[in-house]
């Protein structure tokens, strides 16, 4: 064989031929295009269709955005400046941004909500990022009272006295717990309640008459714009989580009566639209309360929104609880932990971790739902956009206001959802 | 042996007589104590509420009655699926509102499902630009409130669409779409209506009078679907017995389309096109701006959520399933239909139905664009006119609750049917 070969093959290459470049269709941008955009007739159609949609949107909105006007006193002036061309009149934002953000909050006091927002991030930081020093949590605990005073003002003593209620509860618990742990729990509940009902108001008045310190009082009806969305949304978020945990535990409980109460509450709230609950808050609450009582509309709305979110939260957390293997409960029992310790140390850390996406979705939903307060006459951004459109200067302006409001909501909600992804990654302990 | 027998108790543990402290420290009794205490608090709270309400009603000189539902309403409703005029009762107005709510809910659910499935599948596609586009759609719509979307679509309809007069003249600035069938104006959208030369009239069913023609049409379609299902079942049986699946596609088409086409032909069905007469379009079906804005707003917004559900449902099926199906020699189409979809649907359907529930509840935002749903009729004008907030709100909440419970009941039935049969 080898003999024949050596005779028949006249030439054997003894050096490698130089490497050739890959075909032009298999490299760089063209390969990428072929693989990602034009890999088949169906994909090609989709690509062309998408390009058409993008082209059409840019052609429709592009020139309008390109010609935007930022400095004008009214829509008429804007149109004169544009001189017949299509253009966005963002001058309305320039003119009214303070209203969209703060409502009718006195303009000399804008620093107060702004400071409250900045401090919010300081207060949230130790909760969101565990690397920060734990002592900052003390500031987080004081933050709600501080913010109340910053936003509404009035007597500086009111939040302090309210805060003292918690201190009183703690002191009572420490004192009584040596006698009987059970009585201590009762004392820790009853003492603060008595403090707030009986002592707080007179003490506040007494201290204020002696030392009239405090910021200028701002009535609730001056609140508006994103300020109101944030106040309702953040308070609702903060309270609905613990409430939702309690409701979920109640629904999982062995106690038949407690369980059925929780089920009825959750199913009722989830079965009706939020707007009916808001109407209940604004129209019906006066029927259910003793004659003559009336309290702040914003507070009523916060209560209703919180209850609403808590019911959804309860279902999300119930899902997390149900996802835990039975063995976790049994292991907690085997370690001799009592119910609350087992929940706190074993069950909840895992269940909450599983339910993070659901919890965050509920938060985002709650924040978006704060726009519904426009139906009961609170001036949230959408309510204010209607008010601005009703003024003679800005009659007939739609898109610019919608874009501004939409972008602010988008930034907030998108930010939360990104944070939740970070949290999920960080808390991931399995090795998938 | 002897040690164990020593350790064994010779008699039952000493019975402690019941002591009061056992109510708190004995696990057997403690839950009862807590529940009784809780029940007591709850009853106290309820009694306080009822007492306040009774006192307040008495102070206002009111009674608690639903008699206002029989009083004449005195207001008009623009969109009337059933006969209604302002002389009719508040109860009738509420019924019209409820029907409007249901119509909107069904329309928006259909739109959200179609959009969601398309966007969810396309978001997973290999096509870079389509994937990005769908991501933008989902993120933009999910993170901006529904109410804002409804208002935006309302503004698009009223501000950006041409007036009916723009369709007039020899060289109009706007033209109707689809061969003069659909007119989109700033007063609403007109689409062709199906009319019958030989209409069968109406029959009275309680407060509503459905059209016999349409009820029969629906019955015929339902019967066709049922017959088609029988046909396919039979084909499956034949396949199981003989290994050869009989061809069914032309029989299916005949069974599904034949009877209804014949029925329409016999009754002389034809399309009635909208036409510009006077200052407005006439004939055809007029879809008002409020309906369109609500439909698009709710449908496209919820479609973004459905897209995420669909995407997660498909991603939840492990790749091994596809590989196993290929190993069995199934073609890609059959793999999708027989292996992937049945499993993905189990993940997709429950959240999908809860999105339907959300749509139904969000129809109550109709007031924002003047859509006369249950909230705007019973919970809006009726309450304002009669001053019966308590009764009206209560009734409205109960109706919404009934709808929600019906939908979630259907979901539970479905869930228990498709649940994995585990050991």
Asked whether residue B423 is assigned to any structural domain, the reply reads: yes
pLDDT digits (tens, 9 = 90+) for B229-283: 999 999 989 989 998 888 888 888 988 888 888 888 888 777 888 877 777 787 7
- Taking one residue from A and the other from B, the number of pairs with CB-CB distance under 8 angstroms is 143
pLDDT digits (tens, 9 = 90+) for A400-424: 889 999 999 999 999 988 888 888 8
Asked whether residue B339 is assigned to any structural domain, the reply reads: yes
Do B292 and B345 share a domain, yes or no?
yes
Half-sphere exposure of A322 (CA within 13 A, CB side): 9
Tell me how many degrees the CA angle B54-B402-B350 measures, rounded to the nearest 5. 135
Alpha carbon of B50: minimum distance to chain A alpha carbons (Å): 7
Do residues B188 and B289 make contact, with C-beta atoms less than 8 angstroms apart? yes
Do B223 and B343 share a domain, yes or no?
no
Lowest mean pLDDT among A212-216, A265-269, B214-218: A212-216
Nearest chain A residue to B383 by CA distance is A283
Distance from C-alpha of B190 to C-alpha of B288, rounded to nearest angstrom: 9
Contact A273/B400, CB-based, under 8 Å?
A: yes
Asked whether residue A395 is assigned to any structural domain, the reply reads: yes
Do residues A82 and A67 make contact, with C-beta atoms less than 8 angstroms apart? yes
Q: Which residues of A touch B127 (CB under 8 A)?
A: 36-37, 39, 43, 46-47, 50
Task: Show the tokens assigned to A337.
Answer: 């932990």
3-state secondary structure of A281: helix
| pLDDT at B2 (0 to 100) | 45
3-state secondary structure of A287: helix
Scan for tokens 């139905």, then name that residue.
B353
Q: What is the sign of the dihedral through the CA atoms of A418, A421, A425 and A426?
A: positive
pLDDT reading at B345 higher than 60: yes
Residue A5's pLDDT band, with cuts at 50, 70 and 90, is low
Do B385 and B318 share a domain, yes or no?
yes
Residue B8's pLDDT band, with cuts at 50, 70 and 90, is low
Q: Which residues of B touch A268 (CB under 8 A)?
A: 401
Pairing mode, strands B280-282 and B275-277? antiparallel
Chosen from B42, B57, B129, B365 to mutate, greatest number of chain A CBs within 10 A: B129
| pLDDT at B295 (0 to 100) | 94
Assign residue A272 the CATH number of its domain. 1.10.3720.10
pLDDT digits (tens, 9 = 90+) for B294-338: 999 999 999 999 999 988 888 888 888 889 999 999 887 788 888
Chosen from A88, A254, A275 to mutate, greatest number of chain B CBs within 10 A: A275
Lowest mean pLDDT among A214-223, A354-363, B351-360: A214-223
Average pLDDT, chain A: 84
> Which structural domain range is residue A386 located in?
92-108+222-427
Asked whether residue B60 is assigned to any structural domain, the reply reads: no
| pLDDT at B149 (0 to 100) | 93
Asked whether residue A244 is assigned to any structural domain, the reply reads: yes
- Residue B354 neighbours by CB under 8 Å, 6+ apart: B408, B411
Q: What are phi and psi of B195, to 5 degrees?
A: -115, 155
pLDDT digits (tens, 9 = 90+) for A145-176: 888 888 888 788 888 888 888 888 888 888 88
Distance from C-alpha of A219 to C-alpha of B162, rounded to nearest angstrom: 45
Do residues B160 and B350 make contact, with C-beta atoms less than 8 angstroms apart? no
Nearest chain B residue to A364 by CA distance is B143
Asked whether residue A75 is assigned to any structural domain, the reply reads: no
Residue A1's pLDDT band, with cuts at 50, 70 and 90, is very low
Q: CA-CA-CA-CA torsion for B362, B368, B369, B373, nearest 10 degrees?
A: 50
Read off the DSSP letter of residue B276.
Answer: E
Asked whether residue B382 is assigned to any structural domain, the reply reads: yes
Asked whether residue A245 is assigned to any structural domain, the reply reads: yes
Distance from C-alpha of B366 to C-alpha of A59, rounded to nearest angstrom: 32
| pLDDT at B4 (0 to 100) | 47
Select from A236, A360, A238 the least CA-distant residue to A298. Answer: A236
| pLDDT at B14 (0 to 100) | 60
| pLDDT at A248 (0 to 100) | 92
Mean pLDDT across A80-102 = 83
3-state secondary structure of B65: coil
Asked whether residue B144 is assigned to any structural domain, the reply reads: yes
Percent of chain A beyond pLDDT 90?
A: 14
pLDDT reading at A432 higher than 60: no
Do B207 and B258 share a domain, yes or no?
yes
Lowest mean pLDDT among A42-46, A60-64, A178-182: A178-182
Distance from C-alpha of B217 to C-alpha of B263, rounded to nearest angstrom: 8
Do B332 and B418 share a domain, yes or no?
yes
Q: Which residues of B touch A409 (CB under 8 A)?
A: 143-145, 148
Domain count of chain A?
A: 1
> Which structural domain range is residue B233 located in?
193-272
| pLDDT at A320 (0 to 100) | 87
CA A277 to chain centre: 20
Asked whether residue B336 is assigned to any structural domain, the reply reads: yes
Mean pLDDT across A81-108 = 84
Outline where B143-211 has alpha helix (H).
Answer: 146-155, 177-180
Q: What are phi and psi of B184, to 5 degrees?
A: -105, 110
| pLDDT at B16 (0 to 100) | 66
Do residues B164 and B279 make contact, with C-beta atoms less than 8 angstroms apart? yes
Contact A291/B57, CB-based, under 8 Å?
A: no
Residue B147's pLDDT band, with cuts at 50, 70 and 90, is very high
Domain count of chain B?
A: 2
Asked whether residue A153 is assigned to any structural domain, the reply reads: no
Q: What is the ipTM of this complex?
A: 0.85
Select from B149, B286, B165, B49 the least CA-distant residue to B173. Answer: B165
Do B246 and B364 share a domain, yes or no?
no
| Size (chain A), residues | 432
Residues β-bridged to residue A103:
A223
* Residues of A (1-60) whose Cβ lies below 8 Å from B: 35-37, 39, 43, 46-47, 50-51, 53-54
Contact B155/A399, CB-based, under 8 Å?
A: yes
Cβ-based neighbour number of residue B156 at 10 Å: 17
Q: What are phi and psi of B398, to 5 degrees?
A: -65, -40
Do B330 and B404 share a domain, yes or no?
yes
| Size (chain B), residues | 423
| pLDDT at B11 (0 to 100) | 62
Q: Does A287 touch chain B (CB under 8 A)?
A: yes
Which among A39, A271, A284 has CB closest to B390? A284
Do B135 and B237 share a domain, yes or no?
no
Assign residue B127 the CATH number of its domain. 1.10.3720.10
Select from B99, B109, B112, B106 the least CA-distant residue to B399. Answer: B99
| pLDDT at B420 (0 to 100) | 67
Q: Which residues of B touch A405 (CB under 8 A)?
A: 148
Scan for tokens 């605990």, then name that residue.
A141
Which among B38, B133, B147 has CB closest to A372? B147
pLDDT reading at A84 higher than 80: no
Do residues B135 and B402 make contact, with C-beta atoms less than 8 angstroms apart? no
Do B423 and B334 share a domain, yes or no?
yes
Distance from C-alpha of B163 to C-alpha of A257, rounded to nearest angstrom: 61
Distance from C-alpha of B326 to C-alpha of B322, rounded to nearest angstrom: 6
Alpha carbon of B207: minimum distance to chain A alpha carbons (Å): 25
Q: What are phi and psi of A69, to 5 degrees?
A: -115, 130
Asked whether residue A308 is assigned to any structural domain, the reply reads: yes
DSSP element (H, E) containing A42: helix A41-66
Select from A118, A300, A301, A109 the least CA-distant residue to A222. Answer: A109
Distance from C-alpha of A385 to C-alpha of A396, rounded to nearest angstrom: 11
Which among A274, A291, A414 has CB closest to B55? A291
Distance from C-alpha of B318 to C-alpha of B339, rounded to nearest angstrom: 11
In order, the DSSP letters of B63-104 are ----GGGGSB-----S--SS---TTSBHHHHHHHHHHHHHHH
Mean pLDDT across B3-28 = 63
Cβ-based neighbour number of residue B238 at 10 Å: 14
Do residues B320 and B134 make contact, with C-beta atoms less than 8 angstroms apart? no
Do B336 and B401 share a domain, yes or no?
yes
pLDDT digits (tens, 9 = 90+) for A320-348: 888 888 888 889 889 988 888 888 898 88
Mean pLDDT across B135-158 = 92
Q: Which residues of A touch B309 (CB under 8 A)?
A: none
- Residue A212 neighbours by CB under 8 Å, 6+ apart: A155
User: Does B76 or B218 have the greater pLDDT score?
Assistant: B218
Distance from C-alpha of A171 to C-alpha of A169, rounded to nearest angstrom: 6
| pLDDT at B3 (0 to 100) | 47
pLDDT digits (tens, 9 = 90+) for A20-48: 888 877 777 788 887 777 777 888 888 88
Which among A53, A276, A372 has CB closest to B397? A276
pTM: 0.86
- Residue B228 neighbours by CB under 8 Å, 6+ apart: B252, B255, B256
pLDDT reading at B29 higher than 60: yes
Tell me how many degrees the CA angle A379-A385-A386 measures, rounded to the nearest 5. 85
């Amino acid at each position: 064989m080898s003999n024949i070969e050596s005779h028949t093959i006249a030439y054997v290459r003894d050096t490698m031929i130089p490497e050739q470049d890959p075909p032009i269709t298999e490299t760089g941008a063209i390969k990428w295009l072929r693989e990602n955009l034009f890999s088949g007739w169906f994909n090609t159609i989709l690509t062309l269709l998408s390009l058409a949609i993008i082209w059409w949107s840019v052609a429709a909105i592009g020139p309008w955005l390109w010609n935007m006007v930022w400095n004008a006193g009214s829509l008429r002036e804007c149109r004169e400046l544009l001189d017949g061309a299509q253009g966005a009149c963002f001058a309305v934002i320039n003119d009214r941004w303070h209203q969209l953000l703060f409502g009718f909050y006195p303009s000399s006091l804008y620093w107060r909500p702004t400071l409250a927002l900045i401090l919010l991030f300081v207060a949230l930081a130790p909760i969101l990022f565990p690397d920060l020093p734990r002592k900052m949590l003390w500031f987080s605990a004081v933050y709600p009272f501080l913010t109340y005073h910053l936003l509404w003002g009035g007597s500086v003593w009111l939040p302090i006295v309210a805060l003292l209620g918690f201190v009183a509860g703690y002191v009572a618990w420490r004192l009584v717990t040596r006698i009987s742990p059970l009585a201590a729990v009762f004392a820790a509940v009853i003492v603060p309640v008595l403090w707030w009902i009986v002592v707080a108001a007179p003490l506040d008045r007494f201290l204020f008459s002696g030392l009239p310190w405090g910021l200028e009082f701002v009535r609730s009806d001056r609140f508006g714009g994103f300020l109101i969305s944030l106040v309702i949304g953040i308070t609702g978020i903060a309270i609905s989580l613990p409430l939702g945990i309690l409701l979920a535990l109640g629904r999982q409980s062995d106690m038949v009566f407690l369980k059925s109460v929780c089920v009825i509450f959750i199913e009722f709230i989830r079965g009706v639209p939020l707007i009916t609950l808001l109407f209940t808050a604004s129209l019906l609450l006066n029927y259910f309360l003793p004659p003559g009582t009336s309290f702040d509309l914003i507070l009523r709305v916060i209560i209703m929104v919180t209850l609403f979110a808590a019911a959804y939260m309860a279902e999300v957390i119930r899902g997390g609880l149900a996802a835990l293997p039975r063995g976790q409960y049994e292991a907690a029992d085997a370690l001799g932990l009592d119910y609350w310790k087992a929940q706190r140390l074993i069950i909840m850390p895992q269940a909450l971790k599983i339910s993070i996406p659901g919890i965050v979705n509920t938060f985002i939903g709650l924040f978006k739902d704060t726009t519904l307060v426009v139906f009961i006459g609170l001036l949230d951004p959408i309510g204010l956009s209607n008010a601005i459109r009703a003024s003679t200067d800005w009659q007939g302006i739609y898109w610019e206001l919608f874009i501004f409001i939409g972008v602010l909501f988008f930034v907030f909600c998108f930010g939360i959802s990104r944070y939740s992804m970070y949290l999920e990654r960080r808390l991931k302990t399995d090795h998938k | 042996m002897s040690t164990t027998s020593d350790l064994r108790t010779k008699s039952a543990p000493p019975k402690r007589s019941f002591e009061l402290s056992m109510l708190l420290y004995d696990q057997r009794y403690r839950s009862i104590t807590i529940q009784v205490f809780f029940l007591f608090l709850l009853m106290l709270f309820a009694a306080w509420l009822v007492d306040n309400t009774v006192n307040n009603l008495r102070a206002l000189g009111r009674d608690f009655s639903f008699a206002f539902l029989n009083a004449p309403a005195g207001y008009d409703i623009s969109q009337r699926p059933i006969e209604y005029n302002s002389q009719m009762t508040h109860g009738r107005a509420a019924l019209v509102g409820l029907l409007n709510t249901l119509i909107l809910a069904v329309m928006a659910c259909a739109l959200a499902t179609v959009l969601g499935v398309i966007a969810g599948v396309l978001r997973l596609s290999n096509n870079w630009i389509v994937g990005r586009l769908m991501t933008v759609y989902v993120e933009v719509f999910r993170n901006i409130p529904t109410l804002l979307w409804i208002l935006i679509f309302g503004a698009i309809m009223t501000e950006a669409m041409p007036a009916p007069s723009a369709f007039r003249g020899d060289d109009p600035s706007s033209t109707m779409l689809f061969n003069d069938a659909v007119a989109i104006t700033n007063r609403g959208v007109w689409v062709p209506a199906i009319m019958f030369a030989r209409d069968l009239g109406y029959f009275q069913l309680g407060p509503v009078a459905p059209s016999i023609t349409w009820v029969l049409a629906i019955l015929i379609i339902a019967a066709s679907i049922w017959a088609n299902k029988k046909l396919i079942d039979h084909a499956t049986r034949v396949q199981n017995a003989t290994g050869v699946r009989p061809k069914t596609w032309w029989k299916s088409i005949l069974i599904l389309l034949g009877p209804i086409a014949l029925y329409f032909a016999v009754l002389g069905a034809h399309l009635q096109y909208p036409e510009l007469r006077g200052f407005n379009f006439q004939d055809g079906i007029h879809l008002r701006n409020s309906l369109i804005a609500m439909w698009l707003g709710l449908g496209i917004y919820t479609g973004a959520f459905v897209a995420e559900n669909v995407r997660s449902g498909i991603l939840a099926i492990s790749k091994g399933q596809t590989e196993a199906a290929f190993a069995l020699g199934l073609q890609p189409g059959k793999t999708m239909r027989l292996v992937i979809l049945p499993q993905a649907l189990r993940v997709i359907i429950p959240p999908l139905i809860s999105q339907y529930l959300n749509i139904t509840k969000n129809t109550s935002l109709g007031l924002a664009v003047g859509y006369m749903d249950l909230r705007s009729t019973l919970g809006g004008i009726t309450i304002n006119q009669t001053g019966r907030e308590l009764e009206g709100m209560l009734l409205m909440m109960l109706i919404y609750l009934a709808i929600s419970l019906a939908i979630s009941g259907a979901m539970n039935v479905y869930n228990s049917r498709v649940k994995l049969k585990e050991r």
